[in-house]
Amino acid sequence: MARSAAETRQRIIDAAYGLFWRQGFVRASLDDIAARAKVTKRTLYQHFRSKDDLMAEVLAHTSELALDRLHEIAERLPTERDAMLDAMFAELGEWSEKPRWAGPGFTRVVSELADLPGHPARKIARQHKTAAERWYVDLLSRAGVLAAEARGREIMLLVEGTMALMLIHGDRSYAEAAAGAAKRLVNGK
């Protein structure tokens, strides 16, 4: 049975997604991706001009999924400030305990591509992190936090630092410490 071009393209994206997050964006090879997608390397190149283009497509897809997840999380967060912040950071702590959790993927890819400032994947990572920061600002605004823009940026810094330290130490208690810091920030203490 012949596959449609769209199905083949999606299989390549799915294969690349899995390998990029497991092996790293730089280490995952196009040969490995083609093999995992059960296509030839030639077929892969019919859909993507380069590994860079494939990385950008995978990150764009990943960003959509991650932002959808943030909106789902927002729907179930408490509306009271302190409870909302506790729940947000508890969610991070729970995420860090998932099997094969390897930290914040967009931060990882930018670290891997640190010497390539014009790489298309870095642009997508920047757009994603900007959207995530906007999400925090919107949540804080709805909760009546003064100077929500500034507090949202500070919460973003806490989130990024929390994920990095949980990855380094394997210690979920950083999420609890960050929640305490976030509450002091938004409550002006």
**pLDDT at residue 114, as a whole number:** 86
Q: Residue 15's domain is classified under what CATH number?
A: 1.10.10.60
Residue 106 and residue 64 in one domain = yes
Residue 88 and residue 171 in one domain = yes
Token representation of residue 29: 């090879």
Residue 61 and residue 121 in one domain = yes
pLDDT at 1 exceeding the cut of 80 = no
Total count of domains within the chain: 2
Q: Residue 153's domain is classified under what CATH number?
A: 1.10.357.10
Work out the average pLDDT over 144-171: 94
Residue 59 and residue 44 in one domain = no
Q: Choose the weakest-confidence range: 30-44, 93-107, 175-189.
A: 93-107
**pLDDT at residue 58, as a whole number:** 92
Work out the average pLDDT over 68-96: 92
Which of 48, 66, 86 is where one domain is finished? 48
**pLDDT at residue 2, as a whole number:** 53
Work out the average pLDDT over 97-108: 83
| Percent residues over pLDDT 90 in the chain | 68
Domain with 156, as residue range(s), is: 51-186
Residue 103 and residue 151 in one domain = yes
Residue 17 and residue 62 in one domain = no
Residue 62 and residue 38 in one domain = no
pTM: 0.85
Across all residues in the chain, what is the average pLDDT? Answer: 91
Residue 97 and residue 29 in one domain = no
Residue 71 and residue 119 in one domain = yes
Residue 22 and residue 80 in one domain = no
Q: pLDDT tens digit string along 28-39?
A: 999 999 999 999
Work out the average pLDDT over 127-146: 94
Q: pLDDT tens digit string along 43-78?
A: 999 999 999 999 999 999 889 998 999 999 989 999
Residue 58 and residue 32 in one domain = no
Closest C-alpha to 107, from 53, 64, 167 = 167
Residue 61 and residue 73 in one domain = yes
**pLDDT at residue 188, as a whole number:** 84
